[in-house]
Amino acid sequence: MRAFIAVELSHEWQTLISQIQQKIKTQTPIRWVKPSQAHLTLKFLGHITDQQASLIEDRLKGIGSKTPCLMLETESIGAFPSIKTPQIIWLGLKENPALIKLAGEIETALQSLGFTAENRDFKSHITLGRLKNNDRALISSLSELKVEILCQKVEHISLFKSTLTPQGPVHEILKRISFAFNLK
């Protein structure tokens, strides 16, 4: 099965994602992520077996048992590789040392199971859509778009199964791993 580890997004964040997608003006076809399927990826795993899923869950429980809840906050719209040549449009999050630490701990824990470490720094973002071509209207639209500031408390992470379909990927939660400590 194809799998990844991510933070689920609240209904409020899904609504914001839908609103942002509707505001982006372009003549170029964009493959939008369904807001209900949007998430904050912490680690893409690729294809894993049921046995690996069980081992991953054990490692994540160990991390969750010592991880406090954390807060996410929206910040900006951006694109990879750049806003001038967008291929992936994303919603950026305010830098959060606790989130970066969590992503690093997941990365380290999974290396011991044979997963390859990312060769780039963790960039907290939520993918909104993908495209092959761009136009001036799109670049202008992205540059001028302002994002409503939203916060979300994160109390757990999830191991997802991702099934690719002609209509786009379908994500299913396999396991939720709760954090041990609440924010005060």
Model confidence pLDDT, tens digit, residues 15-51: 999 999 999 878 788 999 999 999 999 999 999 999 9
Total tally of structural domains belonging to the chain? 1
Helix runs in the chain, H state only: 11-23, 50-64, 97-111, 136-144
Helix, strand, or coil here: 1? coil
The distance in angstroms from the start CA to the end CA of the chain is 38
Please tell me whether residue 8 adopts helix, strand or coil conformation: strand
Domain that holds residue 71: 2-178
Q: What is the pLDDT of residues 56-71, one digit of tens each?
A: 999 999 999 999 999 9
Query: Which residues sit opposite 88 in a β-bridge?
Result: 80, 130
Give whole-number Cα distances, 1 to 40, 75, 91, 159, in Å. 20, 33, 27, 12
Q: What is the CATH number of the domain that holds 80?
A: 3.90.1140.10
Q: Domain for residue 106, yes or no? A: yes
Quick one: which of 82, 67, 46, 23 has its CA closest to 161?
A: 46
Active-site residues: which are they?
39, 125
pTM of the model: 0.93
Query: Is residue 18 in a domain?
Result: yes
